[in-house]
């Protein structure tokens, strides 16, 4: 289950009594085209499509009011409807998943908060999704929330540019995200882990609508990380530190590993 790393305390602010009732919408962006893995959302894993695994994880959450798949491909939409899900068609020209989500949420005008849950995270912890939702609802000053899990500074992933790292302030707000090792340990600091950023986000609706009107920012273009656009424009991003280190699926080989993990988990439950 997801839970904060003991080093990081993240108290919630109180909600004003006059705040409108929150409506939490989870959106799963799922596009067909992928240079490394075309058709990834419909790839079968342990008898179900990848996107169905993620959908079912979201259904286990207690804080979500609605779940929606945002796709650019009719095959994905039809598959989602076939397993009982909800899907909306979006443009195939969106440069980022965030732009796709911003289009999709127009269909749900009463949503006050949006959770961007990647459609390639079949093992995402429902408790982490709920924790992000609670973080946004309990602190109206936040624009965004995201998550990270600790890594040992000696882990090879620290130097992997495909693994995004984040550093945070003492209050849990994000200071910077990078593909480079972050922080650089000139001096050893006991109990200071490297934080691996997880690609899950929660936004206030008003912030999401502003975000997609901004052009790509310089740091975003340098690192190819769109969350840097938010920081460069002064956004307040809370980082939930979690023990959830569930892997995503970027390649067919990773899909096979996920299937192995799911099969092992199923055997364990039945034994």
Report DSSP letters for 59-73, one per residue: HT-SS-SEEEEEES-
Distance of alpha carbon 69 from alpha carbon 25, whole angstroms: 11
- Burial code (b: 16+ CB inside 10 Å, e: under 16) for 172-199 equals bebebbbbebbbeeeeeeeeebbbbbbb
Neighbours of 65 (CB within 10 A): 17
The predicted-structure confidence for 231-250, as pLDDT tens digits, reads as follows 999 999 999 999 988 878 87
Give this prediction's pTM: 0.85
Question: Is a pLDDT exceeding 50 seen at residue 271?
Answer: no
Q: Which of 68-82, 85-99, 164-178, 255-269 comes out lowest in average pLDDT?
A: 255-269
Question: Is a pLDDT exceeding 50 seen at residue 268?
Answer: no
Q: Which of 7-11, 84-88, 203-207, 261-265 comes out lowest in average pLDDT?
A: 7-11
Question: Is a pLDDT exceeding 60 seen at residue 46?
Answer: yes
CA angle 182/169/178 to nearest 5° reads 25
3-state secondary structure of 199: strand
From 259, 201, 251, select the one nearest 49 (Cα to Cα).
259
Cβ 232 vs Cβ 218: under 8 Å = yes
3-state secondary structure of 168: strand
Question: Is a pLDDT exceeding 80 seen at residue 105?
Answer: yes
pLDDT at 176: 98
Question: Is a pLDDT exceeding 80 seen at residue 6?
Answer: no
Half-sphere exposure of 166 (CA within 13 A, CB side): 25
pLDDT at 12: 46
The predicted-structure confidence for 140-166, as pLDDT tens digits, reads as follows 999 999 999 999 999 999 999 989 999
Confidence of residue 22 (pLDDT cuts 50, 70, 90): very high
* Average pLDDT along the chain: 88
CA-to-CA separations, 120 to 40, 42, 219, in angstroms, rounded: 8, 10, 26
């Amino acid at each position: 289950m997801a839970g904060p790393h003991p080093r990081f305390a993240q108290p919630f602010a109180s909600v004003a009594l006059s705040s409108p009732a929150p409506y939490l919408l989870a959106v799963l962006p799922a596009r067909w085209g992928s240079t490394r893995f075309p058709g990834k959302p419909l790839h079968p894993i342990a008898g179900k499509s990848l996107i169905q695994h993620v959908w079912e994880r979201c259904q286990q959450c207690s804080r979500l009011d609605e779940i929606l798949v945002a796709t650019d491909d009719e095959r994905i939409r039809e598959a989602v409807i076939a397993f009982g899900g909800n899907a909306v068609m979006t443009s195939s020209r969106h440069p980022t998943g965030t732009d796709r989500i911003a289009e999709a949420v127009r269909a749900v005008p009463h949503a006050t908060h949006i959770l961007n849950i990647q459609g390639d995270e079949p093992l995402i912890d429902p408790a982490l999704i709920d924790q992000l939702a609670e973080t946004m609802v309990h602190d109206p000053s936040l624009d965004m929330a995201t998550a990270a899990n600790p890594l040992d500074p000696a882990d090879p992933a620290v130097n992997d540019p495909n693994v995004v790292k984040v550093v945070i302030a003492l209050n849990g707000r994000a200071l910077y995200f990078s593909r480079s090792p972050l922080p650089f340990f000139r001096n050893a600091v006991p109990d200071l882990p490297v934080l691996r950023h997880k690609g899950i986000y929660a936004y206030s609706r008003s912030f999401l609508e502003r975000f997609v009107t901004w052009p790509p920012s310089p740091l975003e273009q340098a690192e190819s990380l769109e969350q840097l656009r938010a920081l460069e424009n002064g956004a307040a991003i809370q980082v939930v530190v979690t023990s959830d280190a569930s892997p995503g699926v970027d390649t067919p080989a990773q899909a096979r590993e996920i299937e192995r993990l799911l099969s092992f988990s199923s055997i364990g439950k039945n034994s």
